[in-house]
């Protein structure tokens, strides 16, 4: 099925937006990334170039393919550029008001054909879509971290999403080389419903001094066969994002294990957000990880 999607917009160029843009340009889509902060765009550009340089090094890509792929990418701080997109995937902060305001503005800027997709981890697609001026053409597309390496996308229709929108977004997801799985518009969808409480449990073990981050991660990897431990993963996710995601999940489920441990707020106050600031449960220098 042809989706009619040629130009992709990504709104928010942080941890997730940067990876989603890599997925889109690698699959050959013209992609415009929008962020309100110039530094987020330049950081993502560097990360993108680094990713494709590594792909060449690992012989997964011929060197001559890289300029062609990178030519698909443009970046801007001007939201009006989203008017050229057939679909906009939003990956801004996990905050209902921020997402709501963004989609309301995009609803004014984009032509009626443009579909909106949200990468929210825990918020309601139906609520995000309300006020977008096209809630029948909004859909949940939850990529996993890091999006450029993980194939899964949880796809959720909101209460007012049309069947045609869902079908188009599903086919578009496959055209990007991703693996879609359908879920209801439900807090945390599949993965974060159990992963967020699980990660909070791991933080509570650190808080209580039961074991060090590296011993907890080692136990989870060698005992449960997970490729990554919960504290390494949290450093990759970002403690700031984890706080927002936990709060949103707790607000909608009242699951006590979704409540964020106090240590997270102290780490955020100290600037220990994880890999993005060079310090989280572990310390980082470039890609090297220390301590824990």
| Contacting positions for ligand NAD (CB under 6 A) | 11-17, 35-37, 40, 91-94, 98, 102, 119-121, 142-143, 145, 237-238, 241, 245
Please give the sequence-ordered ranges of beta strands (E in DSSP) within 217-260, or none if there are none. Answer: none
Of 195 and 216, which has the nearer Cβ to ligand NAD? 195
Q: How far is the CB of 93 from ligand NAD (least distance, A)?
A: 5
Residue in 55, 72, 118, 121 annotated catalytic:
121
Q: Which is nearer to ligand NAD, 88 or 102 (CB)?
A: 102
Nearest approach, Cβ of residue 222 and ligand NAD (Å): 23
DSSP letters for 73-122? EEEES-GGGGGG-SEEEE---S-HHHHHHHHHHHHHHS-TT-EEEE--SS
For residues 260 and 243, is the Cβ–Cβ distance under 8 A? yes
List the Cα angle 80/81/87 in 5-degree steps.
105
Q: Compare residues 105 and 160 and give the one whose CB is closer to ligand NAD.
A: 105
Sequence-distant (6+) residues with CB within 8 A of 100 are: 127, 128, 130, 131
Annotated catalytic residue within 118, 119, 124, 154: 154
- Scan for tokens 């809630």, then name that residue: 135
Q: Report the length, in residues, of the chain.
A: 292
Which residue's CB is nearer to ligand NAD, number 166 or number 189?
Answer: 189
Given the residues 142, 156, 199, 246, the one annotated as active site: 142
Active site residue 121: yes
Phi, psi of 142 (to 5 degrees): -95, 105
Give the Cα separation of 166 and 157 in Å (integer). 6
CB of residue 16 to ligand NAD, shortest distance in Å: 3
90 a catalytic residue: no
Q: How far apart are CB 33 and ligand NAD at their closest, in Å?
A: 10
Residue 137 buriedness (CB in 10 A; 0-12 / 13-18 / 19+): buried
Q: In the bound complex, which residue of the shown chain has the CB atom lying closest to ligand NAD? A: 14
Number of H helices, E strands in the chain: 11, 10
Least separation in angstroms between residue 183's CB and ligand NAD is: 14
Residue 86 or 94: the one with the smaller Cβ distance to ligand NAD is 94
Residue tagged active-site, from 192, 199, 200, 246: 192
> Which residues carry out catalysis?
121, 142, 154, 192
């Amino acid at each position: 099925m042809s989706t009619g999607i040629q130009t992709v917009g990504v709104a928010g160029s942080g941890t997730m937006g940067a990876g989603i843009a890599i997925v889109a340009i690698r699959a050959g889509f013209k992609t415009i990334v929008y962020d309100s902060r110039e530094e987020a765009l330049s950081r993502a550009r560097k990360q993108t170039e680094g990713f494709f340089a590594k792909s060449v090094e690992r012989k997964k890509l011929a060197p001559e393919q890289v300029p062609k792929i990178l030519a698909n990418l443009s970046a801007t701080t001007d939201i009006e550029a989203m008017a050229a997109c057939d679909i906009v995937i939003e990956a801004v902060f996990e905050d209902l008001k921020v997402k709501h305001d963004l989609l309301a503005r995009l609803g004014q800027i984009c032509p009626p054909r443009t579909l909106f997709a949200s990468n929210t981890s825990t918020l309601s697609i139906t609520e995000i879509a309300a006020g977008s001026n096209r809630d029948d053409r909004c859909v949940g597309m939850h990529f996993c971290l890091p999006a450029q390496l993980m194939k899964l996308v949880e796809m959720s229709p909101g209460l007012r999403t049309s069947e045609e929108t869902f079908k188009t977004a599903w086919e578009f997801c496959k055209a990007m080389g991703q693996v879609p799985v359908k879920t209801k518009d439900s807090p945390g969808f599949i993965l974060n419903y159990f992963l967020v409480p699980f990660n909070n449990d791991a933080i509570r073990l650190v808080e209580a001094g039961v074991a060090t981050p590296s011993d907890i991660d080692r136990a989870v990897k060698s005992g449960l066969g997970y490729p990554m431990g919960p504290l390494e993963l949290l450093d990759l996710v970002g403690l700031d994002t984890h706080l927002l995601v936990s709060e949103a999940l707790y607000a909608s489920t009242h699951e006590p294990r979704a409540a964020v441990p106090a240590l997270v707020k102290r780490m955020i106050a100290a600037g220990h957000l994880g890999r993005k600031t060079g310090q989280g449960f572990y310390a980082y220098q470039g890609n090297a990880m220390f301590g824990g």
